[in-house]
Amino acid sequence: MSDRPVFAAIRFVADPPTLELLDQRVLPGHVRHVTCVAAADTAAAIQQMVVRGAPAIGVAAAYGFYMAAVSASAAAGDRAAFDAALDAAYDVLSNSRPTAVNLRWALDRLRGVVSAARPGIALDAVCAAVLDDARAIAREDEAACRAMARHGLALLPAARADGTDGGVRILHHCNTGSLATSNYGTALGLIRAAHHADPRTFVYVDETRPRLQGARLTAFELVQENIDHLLIVDSAAAMLMSAKKVDLVTVGSDRIAASGHVANKIGTLSLAVNARHFGVPFVVVAPVSTIDLNALTGADIEIEEREDSEITHPCGLDCPAVAPAKTRTFNPAFDVTPPDLVTAIVTEYGIARPPYNESLAALCARAARDFI
Ligand code: MRU
């Protein structure tokens, strides 16, 4: 198994500041990049889903914020003007997508770096500190993914649900791999580690309607990693579980409330309900930057709704619609799974189990102590 992804989602060059994003909208058919040189075009790329997946969005936003700092330091006459320009960049970036909290988490962290810089310090030095921390966010994200994979191995079932011989069969929703993170992946990182431990590990990949992250991105990564898999339509999952062909369900998350409510790609809740019905463990893999203790329950998590055409034109606006022009749509990008359906939440600080209001708070407290 390779250690570096063949295609990195995010590359940043500091001089001149340039963010190269792998255009995930056209994978797997085309490999092309979108270049961002400012906060505004970075925010547009996030909004248009050139880059996607909660941790990757946070890293991209961090570099977008740095690029705003560089242009503000060149344009601003004083610290007050610099701070005002960065406030505007923060707003543009943080509003680009509402659900994945890693976006705001990364921006808050960098804003903290700016406000910790003494008045009077050269703006160049403030920019350098922001760049150092943006790079640290990217590095730490990869380290977190690797740590989550190590912890998560303990949750792999020892035997198959139907008693047959062979590797564990994991059902996975959306994309949580290298392309959704700095590298390695959250839930897909665990699958990589499981495959490393036992190459017979097998994956059922939900295609993940409507944007097909499973088909386009997860399958793309599994092919590169030589991990055995089958692509299924989302609605085949219950049938597979009922036949005892699924030993574990793994998903990532875009935001986890203090209560343990898990926001993730639409379709996750159906999987969790089915997994509970058929007695399959349902495991969430996400870094502590995805835990939002300010969201007390799922009701506090804003769910992004996206445009009709994602449903009516699955092959793009150049292809014929699959629904009558007068049909209206409801297209939430995420849903919220209640904590009682979640077997465990794997973080880089260890595994949280119910009651999540206690276990998640304890893991976040440990993370905060590390950060000081
Ligand atoms: O809308 P997207 O493509 O950004 O959604 C991605 C997901 O929901 C992922 O499963 C989630 O971010 C987990 S992150 C590794």
Whether omega before 210 lies within 30 degrees of 0, making that bond cis, reads: yes
Which pLDDT score, from 0 to 100, does residue 119 have?
84
Gyration radius of the chain over CA positions: 21
**Ligand 1 in contact with 53 (CB < 6 A)?**
yes
Which pLDDT score, from 0 to 100, does residue 2 have?
52
- Distance (Å, whole) CA 263 – CA 260: 9
Residue 254 appears among annotated catalytic residues = yes
Cβ count near 279 (within 10 Å)? 9
Q: Which ligand 1 atom is at minimum distance from the Cα of 54?
A: 12
Angle between helices 123-152 and 54-75 (to 10 degrees): 170
Which one of 97, 142, 172, 176 would you pick to mutate in the ligand 1 pocket, going by the greatest count of ligand atoms within 8 A of its CB?
176
pTM of the predicted model, to two decimals? 0.96
Helix, coil or strand: residue 250:
strand
Which pLDDT score, from 0 to 100, does residue 372 have?
61
Which one of 174, 192, 205 would you pick to mutate in the ligand 1 pocket, going by the greatest count of ligand atoms within 8 A of its CB?
174
Which residues are registered as beta bridge partners of 283? 250, 344
Options 23, 141, 247, 254, the catalytic residue: 254
pLDDT tens, position by position, for the chain (372 residues)? 456 666 899 999 999 999 999 999 999 999 999 999 999 999 999 999 999 999 999 999 999 999 999 999 999 778 999 999 999 999 999 999 999 999 999 999 999 999 999 888 999 999 999 999 999 999 999 999 999 999 999 999 999 999 999 999 999 999 999 999 999 999 999 999 999 999 999 999 999 999 999 999 999 999 999 999 999 999 999 999 999 999 999 999 999 999 999 999 999 999 999 999 999 999 999 999 999 999 999 999 999 999 999 999 998 899 999 999 999 999 999 999 999 999 999 999 999 999 999 999 999 999 998 876
- Distance (Å, whole) CA 167 – CA 152: 16
- Distance (Å, whole) CA 139 – CA 55: 11
Which pLDDT score, from 0 to 100, does residue 1 have?
44
Q: Which ligand 1 atom is at minimum distance from the Cα of 188?
A: 15
**Helix, strand, coil in percent for the chain, rounding step 5:** 45, 15, 40
